[in-house]
Amino acid sequence: MNIKPVEFKVLIKPDKVEGQTRGGLYLPDSARDKQQFAVDRGEVISVGEGFFRDLPGPAPKVGDRVIFNRYAGSLITIDEGEGRVDYRLINDKDICAILEE
């Protein structure tokens, strides 16, 4: 399935939430679902035509890793070949920073 954001929207693939804590505890599915919604880092997958047009500063591009506001936008889950994949559809102004390696 191909999702094309409109206007100033951005499609982000959030980082995957691990099933185990640093201390070795396993997280139940319900806790992982809540934690997944709170993830604030991910990769820009697609952008709308009005993306960052009226915002100052450097604009992230497709493929960039970014930090975005927690709980911003809508959570979208799509069944793809490798299973279910989560995406977030957010406003461009909810991107806080570009992560550089």
Identify which of 29, 30, 46 has the alpha carbon closest to the alpha carbon of residue 87. 46
Give the tens place of pLDDT for each residue, 17-38: 666 667 777 767 666 555 555 5
Look up the pTM and report it.
Answer: 0.76
pLDDT at 83: 83
Sign of CA dihedral 98, 94, 51, 82: positive
Which of 62, 29, 59, 60 is closest to 45 using CA atoms? 62
Residue 30 lies in a domain: yes
Whether 3 is in a domain gets the answer no
Instruction: Write out pLDDT tens, residues 48-65.
Output: 988 888 888 888 999 999
Domain, as residue range, for 75:
9-99
Q: How many domains is the chain built from?
A: 1
Q: How confident is the model at residue 39 (pLDDT cuts 50, 70, 90)?
A: low
Q: What is the pLDDT of residue 45?
A: 94
CATH number of the domain within which 26 lies:
2.30.33.40
Residue 59 lies in a domain: yes
